[in-house]
Amino acid sequence: MKLLWRLYRRELALAWNGGGGPLLSVGFYAAVATLVPLALGPSPERLAATAPGLAWVALALASLLSLERLFERDFEDGALDLIALSPTPLEAVAAVKCLAQWTAVGAPLSLAAPLAAVALGASPSLAPLILACAAAGGLAFAFVGGTGAALALGSRRGGLLIAVVVLPLLTPPVIFGGGAIDAFAAHLPWRSGLLLLIAYALAAGGLAPLAMAAACRNAQS
């Protein structure tokens, strides 16, 4: 547990000091939220109708920005080889890396999501549900994105490969989260969408570390 805690702290430090990380993602998110009204026009009704969905799409895209270096820097400097030789299972290491990624990037984006949606015209009553959906969706994005980052190890255009692999897998949480928010706004049953989103995040958290560990071992061989 001490080794995993140290790895978690190390990943947080690298996320903050490695050139961008949460600041880059939140800045991109703010830029999207600022540019969207310019593209859709100043109509408050149109902005209010599309605000939750646009906030979700921006959240998914912003989550991709810092994934490329999740495993790549350890792979390049040989740290991944030392980690693989340690008594700690590589699956646990991958899970800790994704949790640190969510803490450093996903959590700030989750806090920014309600603010962006309300700024775009969404009702303030949607803010708690948007925060809950963004937190669960961000966790799913971190684990699914970690899988893409592990599969892209050693490739020359890792960022493009990550986007190709990850974007289709981000579709279900976007649908579940956006559907729950839209149903809540329309006073329709919304809990099923939130529960499906949480189930997706839990499934990603349980299965993705296995795929990440296998991809890392394949890249090392």
Reply yes or no on whether the pLDDT at 8 is more than 60.
Answer: yes
| Cα 218 to Cα 84, 119, 147, 152, 211, distances in angstroms | 12, 45, 13, 11, 11
Name the residue ranges covered by the structural domains of the chain: 2-220
Provide the pLDDT confidence category of residue 192 given band limits of 50, 70 and 90: very high
Residue 156, pLDDT score: 65
Q: What percent of the chain has pLDDT over 70?
A: 94
pLDDT of 200: 94
pLDDT for 112 equals: 85
Q: What is the pTM of this model?
A: 0.87
Residue 34 confidence (pLDDT) above 80: no
Q: How far is the C-alpha of 124 from the C-alpha of 160, rounded, in Å? A: 36
Asked if residue 116 lies in contact with residue 47, where contact means CB atoms within 8 angstroms, the answer is: no
